[in-house]
């Protein structure tokens, strides 16, 4: 590999780019309206409300130190389904909204550069209590789900899209995080992309730790076929595309 190419790619990891960006020309500074906090959905879409935090009965306190000590990647899952409250807890832990600051800004359970939160969460649901199988999307503002679609032969398509890492399709639920980069670019222009990747780590780490509290396990997955994964969740691959996956199941 030529050193020049390596250095070029390494530079992406550095914050030197910031010095070259004229932040006075970002869309935010130009007065362009901020993009929506969450991707809009059709008004006639059925909303599946998730049990709210105040009503959880099956989610118990769990010692954070123990969660950090025992956390590890899990690639084998029990056949048992995931409970709806458990799924609700995992969604809240990874992208849940704690406070609305204004029309364009919300505080979530995870940090995000400039509080821009560029992610959408899709779920491939195979075995979750009271939810028919399919591809769903989490609505953090409503703490609810919408059914996106029910692809045929989804397990096979998921295997192909994840380079035959078959433990993923065997999981009762797979978190599929897309990014809508413009949410971050609106404020940070070309400095957006590096921090989008940093944001993703926080989301997945919260999933790892939250899984410990419900005797479940997960495994971060960054290796997949981009076009096939985008097709599976039905996103355009330009304004929104898949960034990261994490199958979840009881251990």
Ligand X SMILES: Cc1cc2nc3c(=O)[nH]c(=O)nc-3n(C[C@H](O)[C@H](O)[C@H](O)COP(=O)(O)O)c2cc1C
Nearer to ligand X, 97 or 248 (CB): 248
Instruction: Give 102: exposed, middle or buried? Use CB within 10 Å, 0-12, 13-18, 19+.
Output: exposed
Q: How far is the CB of 202 from ligand X (least distance, A)?
A: 12
Phi, psi values for residue 128, rounded to 5°: -125, 130
What's the closest the beta carbon of residue 213 comes to ligand X, in angstroms?
17
Phi, psi of 192 (to 5 degrees): -75, -40
Q: Are 118 and 104 in contact (CB under 8 A)?
A: no
Strands in 59-180 per DSSP E: 97-102, 105-108, 119-125, 134-139, 144-149, 173-179
Nearer to ligand X, 32 or 222 (CB): 222
Identify which of residues 67 and 220 has a Cβ nearer to ligand X in the complex.
220
Nearer to ligand X, 190 or 222 (CB): 222
Give dist(CA 156, CA 169) in Å, integer. 8
What phi and psi values does residue 92 have, to the nearest 5 degrees?
-65, -45
- Shortest Cβ distance from residue 43 to ligand X (Å)? 37
Tell me how far, at minimum, the Cβ of 163 lies from ligand X, in Å: 8
Max CA pair span of the chain: 57
Residue 242, strand partner residues: 178
Q: Are 241 and 235 in contact (CB under 8 A)?
A: yes
Residue 214: CB minimum distance to ligand X, A: 18
Nearer to ligand X, 50 or 233 (CB): 233
Residues 6+ apart with CB under 8 A from 190: 17, 20, 21
List interacting residues with ligand X (CB under 6 A).
72-73, 165, 219-223
Q: Which CB, 211 or 219, lies closer to ligand X?
A: 219
Shortest Å distance, C-beta 223 to ligand X: 3
């Amino acid at each position: 590999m030529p050193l020049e190419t390596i250095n070029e790619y390494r530079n992406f990891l550095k914050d030197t780019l910031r010095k070259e960006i004229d932040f006075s020309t970002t869309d935010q500074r130009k007065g362009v309206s901020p993009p929506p906090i969450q991707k809009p959905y059709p008004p006639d879409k059925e909303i599946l409300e998730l049990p709210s935090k105040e009503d959880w009965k099956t989610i118990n306190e769990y010692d954070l130190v123990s969660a950090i000590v025992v956390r590890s990647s899990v690639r084998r899952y029990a056949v048992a389904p995931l409970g709806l409250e458990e799924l609700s807890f995992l969604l809240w832990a990874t992208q849940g909204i704690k406070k609305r600051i204004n029309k364009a800004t919300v505080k979530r359970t995870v940090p995000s550069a400039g509080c821009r939160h560029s992610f959408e969460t899709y779920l491939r649901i195979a075995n979750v209590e009271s939810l028919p199988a399919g591809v769903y999307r989490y609505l953090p503002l409503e703490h609810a789900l919408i059914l996106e679609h029910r692809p045929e032969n989804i397990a096979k398509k998921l295997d192909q899209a994840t380079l035959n890492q078959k433990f993923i399709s065997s999981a009762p639920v797979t978190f599929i995080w897309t990014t809508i980069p413009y949410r971050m670019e609106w404020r940070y222009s070309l400095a957006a992309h590096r921090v989008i990747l940093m944001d993703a780590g926080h989301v997945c780490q919260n999933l790892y730790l939250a899984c410990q509290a419900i005797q479940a396990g997960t495994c971060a997955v960054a290796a997949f076929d981009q076009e096939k994964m985008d097709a599976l969740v039905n996103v355009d691959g330009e304004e929104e595309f898949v960034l990261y996956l994490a199958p979840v199941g009881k251990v």
